[in-house]
Structure 1
Amino acid sequence: MESASLRQTSSSPPGEMVEFETKPLLSKFLSFPTTASTSNQQRRRRVAAKIGSAPRPSRQQSFGRDIGHAAKETYLITRLSFTLLQYLGVGYRWITRLLALGCYAMLLMPGFLQVAYCYYFSSQVQRSIVYGDQPRNRLDLYLPTNTDGKKPVVVFVTGGAWIIGYKAWGSLLGLQLADRNIIVACIDYRNFPQGTISDMVEDASRGISYIFNNIADYGGDPDRIYLMGQSAGAHISSCALLEQAIKESKMEESISWSASKIKAYFGLSGGYNLFNLVDHFDSRGLYRSILLSIMEGEESLHLFSPEVRVQDPSNKDAVSILPPITLFHGTADYSIPSDASKIFVDVLKKVGAQAELVLYDGKTHTDLFLQDPLRGGKDELFDQLVAVIHADDKEALEQDAVAPPRRRLVPEILLKLARNISPF
């Protein structure tokens, strides 16, 4: 599970997004590619000429509208925070964890500020694209600067303990994968108490559907779409994938995207059997009563436990539709034990699915997703993801082999201190 500040995005008409130009000064601090300032019209013509598709939509959001959105967002965050506190209560465990979280964030702030600058001002980032009619039905796109040819796409569902997930948590991954000519779509979804697990799965599925139907307009290849989730996002995305496979196997009419067309699924530090995790989460502060409220009662746990559902003989045909699955987990993960991934892989293999487990010795819940990427240089998880995505592209693999190491964003001493004080 992950913790961060509760975020909520106000709604606006479909297709809206924000685009800003990156300042050249940024290249001194980050290895993320930047583009020179050009007009939207020139850029659209260039993209359309090179990829032979419709020009990607864009608009400049007015300062006044930004202020209005910020005010609405602040009000909604405040209201939901008070509602959430009614569930959590105020006790010693939560106070100590919040203090630890504050210190953890401060130690990593040098990296967070650099990534935030890119997120808000880089022309590579198309923010808050509306994909549905529900609150928080928005996604961010991270686009490579190289617009030659169709790009592989990673649809990413962020973590956040089903309570504080937010699409911007995936900005570090998005920017770094975009640097390797991979488009990343980070999907936002309703959090508890605004929604429960069925709402979250529905939102994730809608976001995936939007990518399948529209990613070609942004230079993406609809035939090379990968699905990935981290922590609670791994649980949500795996539920969405399995649910879609079940619908597809039953040839239901309400299918807006095909699970069989997902090239591969990547689960990072996720939990896939809620029955085995209820007591563990309760001991770490996500109390049983709250988790059951999120999961719509104890009687619904089996519906949102992919490990349980794939063992149901009635879902045998759905299992055969699932794409290759790779689960990544750190052995020192105390938020969600690595056994959660290990057991799920064993079950998937037993029922005939193609599954693989990759364990990282001594890595914690946040090492793989935050500390290691902020450290820069070689990153085993990152390299493995890129290798799988570029496996059928010889030219891309050659470019990966000579790619410069990623720049360090946080000094090592701060990373070590953050790891020791992390509440995760």
Structure 2
Amino acid sequence: MAVRSWRKRSTKALAVAVAALAGLVMAGALSGCSPLTLVNVVSPGGTARSVATAAFGPDPRHVLSIYRPASGASKAPVIVFFYGGNWVSGERDDYAFVGRSLAKRGFVVVIPDYRLYPQSSYPDFLHDGARALVWTERRIAAYGGDPKRLFVMGHSAGAYNAAMLALDPRWLREQGSKPDILRGWIGMAGPYNFLPIENETTRPVFHYPDTPRDSQPVDHVRAAAPPALLIAARNDTTVNPERNTGVLADRLRKAGVPVREEYYDNVNHATLVATLSSTLRRLAPSLDTIEDFVRSDGGRHTSAAAPAR
């Protein structure tokens, strides 16, 4: 959908979405539930469904969920999604709405858990992410996915994970693979350039004050990197969009890497990912933008027609 039409309806959409979000947060506070759990409850999946869970490694956190369209069509594009939580929290089931929404658009979606601090620290979660990606490439055909159309995506800390897997060959190489398996990657509100670390929760995750310089995605930009779609909330006060999304996009362009950059109003760091749900979709066209990027093979050609929704 054109950006103009979204802007024309932004006032109405904002009122509806804010009211919905306020109700969700209030209900979560009263019931002791996570707001994301409530987003899952009130965001029906339509014809999409979770078809399986599987272990991709030896740790109890090495488990992933797979979502696919109920039609069961084969050779669908595949998206591996990593959630955020500052590397200290998160569960794949909290993001079922992401799996259902993307599967409803005709994609096979994989949502892995990964080890969190204090059980682990940098770079353990990148080893986990690489394991999950390679598991997906080698086994997703059995679930209707096309391993030759594989994308990695994440929000917040998960966008960092996705960026590192797409840009820094070390992690996939350790699993006997390389970033060439990716047709593109998608980052939502990602921290790509955050040294020196200011967030006190993040500091021990990255061994502050001895944080490795090569832990930053912006320092791994290379001409051979896969195309990128970078989405951010214009007024994000958690992860500065100019310093992170803007700087990374600029470096990618200078290296000759195709990159699409989108900034949305009416959302913040947390609600950006919630715009993938049916409940808050009117806040921003995130889902349409992601669908277009994947169907166009990372922007390499005109987007193919989407299945009926």
Shift of 1:191: 0.6
Give runs of aligned pairs for residues 128-139 of structure 1, distance below 5 A: 128-139=53-64
Note if 1:382 corresponds to 2:309: no
Long gaps (5+) in structure 1: 1-97, 282-286, 311-318, 405-424
Note if 1:344 corresponds to 2:248: yes
CA offset digits 1:115-163 (Å, max 9, x no partner): 5x87xxx992135310011230010100111123311100111101111
In structure 2, do the counterparts of structure 1 residues 169 and 106 end up closer, same or farther at CA, with 3 Å as the change threshold? Answer: closer
Which aligned segments of 4 or more residues in structure 1 are displaced greater than 6 angstroms?
A: 98-101, 106-109
| SS of match in other structure, 2:210 | helix
In structure 2, do the counterparts of structure 1 residues 309 and 262 end up closer, same or farther at CA, with 3 Å as the change threshold? Answer: closer
In structure 2, do the counterparts of structure 1 residues 363 and 221 end up closer, same or farther at CA, with 3 Å as the change threshold? Answer: same
The Cα RMSD (Å) is: 3.2
In structure 2, do the counterparts of structure 1 residues 181 and 101 end up closer, same or farther at CA, with 3 Å as the change threshold? Answer: same
Match of 2:228 among 311, 315, 325: 325
Match of 1:304 among 196, 215, 219: 215
Shift of 1:109: 6.5
Shift of 1:309: 3.6
In structure 2, do the counterparts of structure 1 residues 399 and 237 end up closer, same or farther at CA, with 3 Å as the change threshold? Answer: closer
Match of 1:272 among 187, 192, 195: 192
Note if 1:398 corresponds to 2:301: no
Give runs of aligned pairs for residues 152-191 of structure 1, distance below 5 A: 152-191=77-116
In structure 2, do the counterparts of structure 1 residues 105 and 359 end up closer, same or farther at CA, with 3 Å as the change threshold? Answer: farther
Match of 1:291 among 190, 202, 218: 202
In structure 2, do the counterparts of structure 1 residues 106 and 218 end up closer, same or farther at CA, with 3 Å as the change threshold? Answer: closer
Partner residue, 1:113: 41
Partner residue, 2:183: 263
TM-score (norm 1): 0.59
CA offset digits 1:168-213 (Å, max 9, x no partner): 2321111011112100000110010111021111100100010011
State the one-letter code of the partner of 2:100.
L
Shift of 1:382: 0.4
CA offset digits 1:94-126 (Å, max 9, x no partner): xxxx999836967777543245x87xxx99213
Match of 2:118 among 193, 201, 204: 193
State the one-letter code of the partner of 1:293.
P
Q: In the alignment, is the contact (CA less than 8 A) between 2:55 and 2:64 conserved in 1?
A: yes
Q: Distance in 2 between matches of 1:371 and 1:157?
A: 16
Q: Distance in 1 between matches of 2:78 and 2:276?
A: 22
User: Which of the pair is proportionally richer in strand?
Assistant: 2
Long gaps (5+) in structure 2: 1-24
Q: In the alignment, is the contact (CA less than 8 A) between 2:276 and 2:286 conserved in 1?
A: no
Partner residue, 1:102: 29
Report how many aligned residue pairs link the two structures.
280
Give runs of aligned pairs for residues 28-39 of structure 1, distance below 5 A: none
Partner residue, 2:131: 206
In structure 2, do the counterparts of structure 1 residues 322 and 99 end up closer, same or farther at CA, with 3 Å as the change threshold? Answer: same
In structure 2, do the counterparts of structure 1 residues 166 and 127 end up closer, same or farther at CA, with 3 Å as the change threshold? Answer: farther
In structure 2, do the counterparts of structure 1 residues 364 and 304 end up closer, same or farther at CA, with 3 Å as the change threshold? Answer: same
Shift of 1:398: 3.4
Shift of 1:320: 2.6
Q: Distance in 2 between matches of 1:240 and 1:198?
A: 11
State the identity %.
24
User: Which of the pair is proportionally richer in helix?
Assistant: 1
Partner residue, 1:365: 269
Q: In the alignment, is the contact (CA less than 8 A) between 2:69 and 2:103 conserved in 1?
A: yes
Q: Distance in 2 between matches of 1:169 and 1:258?
A: 29
State the one-letter code of the partner of 1:145.
A
Answer with 1 or 2: which has the greater Rg: 1
Q: In the alignment, is the contact (CA less than 8 A) between 1:302 and 1:309 conserved in 2?
A: no
State the one-letter code of the partner of 1:230.
H
